[in-house]
Amino acid sequence: MENFSRFKNQKAIVTGGSSGIGLAIARRLRAEGATVAVFDFDPKTFAALGAEFGAGHRFVQVDVTDEGRVNAAVAGLVAEWGGVDILVNSAGITGVSARKTHEITFADFERVVRVNLFGSFLTAKAVLPGMVARRYGRILHIASIAGKDGNAGMVSYSSSKAAVIGMTKSQGKEYAESGITINALAPAVIQTPLVDAMPPEQVKANTDKIPMKRCGTLDEIAAMACFIVSPETSFTTGFTFDLSGGRAVY
């Protein structure tokens, strides 16, 4: 890391931050000076992460699909911190995969959309008033190349991530004059526990589409995410960055 104090005195929320992509981003933000609050549905790793991160950081059990819980969690942090500078929405699920549309239940489709889209909407909605008042903020929604290309056998996930990209475009324009940037990051397959749990044939089908013929790493996505939410990235908003090993260049 070139700049260990890039986020000094900044406060950041990372949803889905107790594992995988979210944890990698939370760790890098902390390493570069941010005070971090991890929002996650499953608190089983909180004790270990609290010991790792140290004093001042927060670990909050939050269902990002529950508006009341989200609002209460954000309000509590704002009262303690005085404001939130950064929001990274990494909470996400794939749902049932390696199935065609007629084999997917509506309940599964709805569950994926609620977590991936509604969760990102609700957390952004909760932090935006404070960012507007302070005329500064960085919001990053973790989308997916599946939201651009559409992955066969992943209709729920692809649809939800396409919606996240559309939401990012709208939000970026809405707050463009407010000192706030709102962007998305669309990775191809990143080696995470979420990917490890997918059917091997589904992972192979996706990595075969990547010209580099490999998964991305957690270090690579954390580095790009922190660039996007840094003060330096001040003239880009409503944009979806790719991290795809050459799979998508648009």
* Catalytic residue set: 157
E-strand ranges in 29-142 read 35-40, 58-61, 86-89, 137-142
Bridge partners (DSSP) of residue 180 are 137
Helix (H, G, I), strand (E, B) or coil at 130: helix
User: Measured at the alpha carbon of residue 242, what is the angle toward residues 239 and 243, in degrees to the nearest 5?
Assistant: 145
Query: At residue 247, what is the residue type?
Result: R
CB atoms inside a 10 Å sphere around CB 169: 16
Quick one: how far is CA 16 from the chain centroid?
Answer: 7
